[in-house]
Structure 1
Amino acid sequence: MTAYGHIPGEPVECLSIAVELRKEEVTDSAGNLAWRVGFRIGGGIDQDPTRAPYKYPDSGIYITHIDLDSPAERTGLRKHDKILQVNGNDFTMLTHDKAVKYIKQYPVLQMLIARASIPPISLH
């Protein structure tokens, strides 16, 4: 089985990558303390995947950009990785805004990622 083309709310069995991402503390342009994660996301159950700039096969949360020399790059995240879980919370049934808010909420993200280059599980 694969995580790509997954129907929200349905169980999914797939190989995944566990990633611990520790955000960097930075000062923004206004002088405020902020946490840098180093990636952007797209998708969500409230989004139409056929209208997205990248043609993903479902309404999951996908990494659409990785900043150079960022916590995301150093932990091995890649553009087009699908986020399955963050800190134990299911990311396969979230709206885009809820996913963004959740990612911003914590300084450390324990993530499960699906990657298209990992072959699907054979259940034979």
Structure 2
Amino acid sequence: MTAYGHLPGEAIECLSIPVELHKQQIIDEFGQMVIRVGFRIGGGIDQDPTKAPYKYPDAGIYITNVEPDSPASEAGLRKHDKILQVNGNDFTMMTHDRAVKFIKQSNVLHILIARADLPPVSSH
């Protein structure tokens, strides 16, 4: 089984990668202190996948962009990684807005991701 094409609410067994991301405080062009993560997400159980710029096989939360030299790229996140958990919260049944709120609420993110080029778990 893989994490892709997963039905929300169904049990999932797949290889996953734990990532620890430390957000960065920077001063933006307006002189304001902002917290930088360095990635964007797409998807969610409330989104219409036919309107998405990328054709993902399910309603999961996916990383749609990773900025170079950002906390996300330094942590090893890649475009099209599927987010399974953030700080222990299940992201397989998450709306887009809730996912954004969970990502914004902590300065350190413990993320569990699935990556398409990892082999599926075999049942030997």
Q: What is the TM-score of this pair, normalised by structure 2? A: 0.96
Deviation at 1:45, TM superposition (A): 0.3
User: What is the aligned partner in structure 2 of residue 93 from structure 1?
Assistant: 93
Q: Which residue of 1 aligns with 2:34?
A: 34
Corresponding residue SS for 1:10: coil
Deviation at 1:11, TM superposition (A): 0.7
**What's the CA shift string for 1:18-68, capped at 9, x where partnerless?**
000000011234433221000000000000112211000000000000001
The alignment's C-alpha RMSD in Å is: 0.9
Residue of structure 2 equivalent to 1:2 = 2
In the other structure, the counterpart of 1:108 is 108
Count of residues in Structure 1 that have an aligned counterpart in Structure 2: 124
Structure 2 unaligned regions, length at least 5: none
TM-score normalised to structure 1 length = 0.96
Separation in 1, partners of 2:97, 2:28: 21
1:28 & 1:61 partners in 2: Cα distance?
A: 27
Instruction: Please show how residues 48-87 of structure 1 align to structure 2 within 5 Å.
Output: 48-87=48-87
1:19 counterpart letter in structure 2: V
The 1-side partners of 2:95 and 2:59 are apart by 9
Distance 2:116 2:10 in 1: 19
Any gaps of 5 or more consecutive residues in structure 1? none
Q: Distance in 2 between matches of 1:104 and 1:33?
A: 15
Query: Which residue matches 2:47?
Result: 47
The residue identity in structure 2 corresponding to 1:35 is I
